[in-house]
Amino acid sequence: MSRNKRRFPHVGLALERLARQVTEWTGGSWAFGVAVGVIIVWALTGPFFGFSDTWQLVINTGTTIVTFLMVFLIQRSQNKDAQAVHLKLNEISPRRRCGSCTSTMRDSSRSPSATEI
């Protein structure tokens, strides 16, 4: 465990909660609708601003920032999914004992469950 996690546990919990909420919202239909709306408003304001470089820079900067943040949210989501699958496979797959080479099921009390993720 890193030193910062022990020193500021509330910050990690707050970021985890925020990331979960943003991930859920951005995966929904409303997020797509908002994105389409922003693009439509931007396109409609083009003639007003004379299709200037600044007008183009606004959408370029906005999409770059959103893309940068979404990369981290997607990676977080994939890591959580992979960890859940890995834990579930560990629960259902047999484990061999070193000395006897007999297969036994993994003791679920020693391994975290997928619901703890």
Cα 117 to Cα 22: distance, rounded to the nearest angstrom: 17
pLDDT in tens, 26-81: 888 999 999 999 999 999 999 999 999 999 999 999 999 999 999 998 998 899 88
Q: Which residue has the higher pLDDT, 106 or 34?
A: 34
3-class secondary-structure state, position 27 = coil
Grouping H, G, I as helix, E, B as strand and the rest as coil, residue 103 is: strand
Could you tell me the residue ranges of all domains in the chain? 3-116
Name, of 8-17, 52-61, 102-111, the range with top average pLDDT: 52-61
- What is the distance between the terminal CA atoms of the chain, rounded to a whole angstrom? 16
Model confidence at 2, pLDDT cuts 50, 70, 90, reads: low
